[in-house]
Structure 1
């Protein structure tokens, strides 16, 4: 369902994303439960319920690791963006896998307890004052609750209802969930019989998540400094800061007034930006109040149209309007205030190419 409670239109990318994710999870669980035990050098095989508990628990941990790596990877390389677009599906599935793990834990370790299994889970170990033997279950419960809250509020309805700042702050709890899971594993599974492979996987996960975020943070700090230097250089050369690209609606314009009173309309369309004078060549209509229709700027007064790149009216019409050069530094749009002769072609700025 969408924000208006109408069915979501599933496209090919969404279906493919979820199909690959389901296949990867199913394959991991199959290998862990059916294939891996044949290679264990043990005198007594691990019980099936315990094996399934470990399979779903480790799967949830690895899935959360991948989720936390998608963001910085997408910032470093745009080819990872397709993984980012449907990351909420990944998170909901992770919560489901974690819930199955918790169900197996309750069913195997506490199902035959004389007290209620939930009460037994919370009261069987209360050694909160010591490190070794600390009730690691508490960290697992906290992480599971966070994953449930994030999964339940992943829909765009909650993004609209709570507002972007609050919704984003809420979903930053994913990092707290990861810390809780690492503590849950470190004080739980890693305290048992030595398993060098599992220990190495957990350590590598922590190093990967922390290292990737640290490296990406340093990269973005350097990029921000470079962008500020580039903006300052362009401003020294007379360019004008025209605002943020996110402030311009698709197929619409942002109108900027220059020092001499000249008004320039900066249009955003098809992932690109172009700038022309705000004055229609017909009767001086405000082009910036019009929209991009059929690939052309359309004046709201009488429907006169102009090509976005060169300000020329489509044939057989001959009207022409001045165009302007733009630069996109990060997400900031800069405008050369010097108008080009009417009909001059200016290559559109591709949004994201310089970001």
Structure 2
């Protein structure tokens, strides 16, 4: 472990993110406790902190669960993924503080150890009205602990991606347990229209975004399947092609340069007509694919050299479905109509 372990690198962006997140969490707790103290003067500070930390953790969990489907629905949300693990660990720490305060306030003054008391003080699992909701929260907190403890890339590498993914998919089980914890606990002991509305809206948002992302991916999969049935070949992810540069792929024994430029994807033969230079190692300059050997240029849409030059390279039809680039392996003579696809 000592040879492979790499400490978390807090770059400037992450430090700024954590600072803003910490300030927002502190501000939320200050506002929550202040407003709650004004509305419920008899409530103790411990009670206010328990409620504030619990609602804050639940709010953060809803945000975490919305990030994934939002990124699948619109790539502009992808920057949110960069710090999602930091948000997840922060959410766990908040939930842990809520759990510790609750454990001390409700289970620390008896003869039985607090953790044991939490599970044995109420065993009415057969009663909906008196269900031991605290046990649901404790189990959910245990799941969140496992996720927070394995959030580093060290565990992703050593557990393997499939195992790590299955472990972190348990967040949905934790979410269901926490919903039960709130519904059977806070909403039964002290019904609140505000909390009920927040919970209903949050669940609807999470479920709605996941369904919308699922339907979109299903539609993309169907379109990709139809394209492949017509001979198109899935060659790469759109993000694997640098802007105004190419990714070289092999199709039907021929090397093809797939360029991304100005919201379009074009595919041309990788062989320059001058001295067989590798076009895919060049880049697009002034709107033209420029050979890295001698500077010969070709329009990416048609494969023809700009006038007055007459050189042409074969082009290939392209499609972009979701974030995947598909290319038809049958070349078309250069100089014809545009064969590129919009991203």
What TM-score does the superposition give when structure 1 sets the normalisation length?
0.76
Distance 1:262 1:209, change over 3 A: closer
**Which residue in 2 is equivalent to 1:220?**
217
**Which residue in 2 is equivalent to 1:256?**
251
> 3-state SS of the aligned residue for 2:217?
helix
Q: Quote the Cα distance in structure 1 between the aligned partners of 2:338 and 2:16.
A: 38
* Residues 241 and 335 in structure 1, CA contact (< 8 A), matched pair in contact too: yes
Structure 2: 5+ residue stretches without partners: none
- Number of matched pairs: 328
Displacement of 1:35: 3.0
Q: Quote the Cα distance in structure 1 between the aligned partners of 2:203 and 2:75.
A: 24
**Which residue in 1 is equivalent to 2:183?**
186
Q: Quote the Cα distance in structure 1 between the aligned partners of 2:95 and 2:201.
A: 20
CA deviations on 1:121-169 (whole Å, 9 max, x unpaired) are 2221122233221211221111111111111222222222223222222
* Residues 25 and 59 in structure 1, CA contact (< 8 A), matched pair in contact too: yes
CA deviations on 1:266-305 (whole Å, 9 max, x unpaired) are 36799975433244557657x49x8568988888xxx677
* Residues 318 and 325 in structure 2, CA contact (< 8 A), matched pair in contact too: no
**Which residue in 2 is equivalent to 1:329?**
321
Q: Quote the Cα distance in structure 2 between the aligned partners of 1:308 and 1:173.
A: 52
**Which residue in 2 is equivalent to 1:20?**
20
What TM-score does the superposition give when structure 2 sets the normalisation length?
0.79
**Which residue in 2 is equivalent to 1:65?**
62
* Residues 139 and 184 in structure 1, CA contact (< 8 A), matched pair in contact too: yes
Distance 1:5 1:345, change over 3 A: farther
Q: Quote the Cα distance in structure 1 between the aligned partners of 2:46 and 2:10.
A: 39
**What's the C-alpha RMSD, in Å, of the aligned pairs?**
3.7
Q: Quote the Cα distance in structure 2 between the aligned partners of 1:271 and 1:304.
A: 27
**Which residue in 1 is equivalent to 2:171?**
174
Structure 1: 5+ residue stretches without partners: none
**Which residue in 2 is equivalent to 1:245?**
236
| Match for residue 197 of structure 1 among 194, 198, 201 | 194
Q: Quote the Cα distance in structure 1 between the aligned partners of 2:75 and 2:189.
A: 42
* Residues 248 and 255 in structure 2, CA contact (< 8 A), matched pair in contact too: no
Displacement of 1:335: 2.7
Displacement of 1:215: 3.4
Q: Quote the Cα distance in structure 2 between the aligned partners of 1:256 and 1:86.
A: 38
Q: Quote the Cα distance in structure 2 between the aligned partners of 1:157 and 1:347.
A: 44
Q: Quote the Cα distance in structure 1 between the aligned partners of 2:139 and 2:273.
A: 64
